[in-house]
Amino acid sequence: MPQPSTRYHHGNLREACLTAARELLEEGGNSELSLRAVARRAGVSATAPYRHFADREALLSGVAAEGYLELAATLAAAQPSPSTPEDLADIGIAYVRFALDHPALFRVMFAEPCDPTSPERVAATTAINEYLHRIVRQALPDSDTDSMATTLWALVHGMAFLHLDGKFDSSAPDAVAGKIHAAVRSLRA
Same domain membership, residue 166 and residue 138:
yes
CB burial class (10 A; 0-12, 13-18, 19+) of residue 131? Answer: middle
Same domain membership, residue 44 and residue 135:
no
Same domain membership, residue 110 and residue 78:
yes
**Sign of torsion, CA 161 164 167 170?**
positive
Same domain membership, residue 76 and residue 46:
no
Same domain membership, residue 17 and residue 65:
no
User: Going residue by residue through the chain (189 aa), what tens digit of pLDDT does each one get?
Assistant: 444 444 445 579 999 999 999 999 999 877 778 999 999 999 999 999 999 999 998 999 999 999 999 999 999 999 988 999 899 999 999 999 999 999 999 999 988 776 778 888 888 888 899 999 999 999 999 999 999 999 999 999 999 999 999 999 888 999 899 999 999 888 875
Which CATH number does the domain housing residue 69 bear? 1.10.357.10
pLDDT tens readout for residues 76-108: 999 988 999 899 999 999 999 999 999 999 999
Which pTM value belongs to this model? 0.88
Same domain membership, residue 145 and residue 61:
yes
Which CATH number does the domain housing residue 40 bear? 1.10.10.60
| Residue 30 belongs to some domain of the structure | yes
Give the residue from 139, 30, 27, 122 showing the smallest Cα distance to 82: 139
pLDDT tens readout for residues 151-163: 999 999 999 999 9
Q: How many structural domains are present in the chain?
A: 2
Contact present, 68 and 125 (Cβ < 8 Å): yes
Give me the domain span that covers residue 147. 54-187
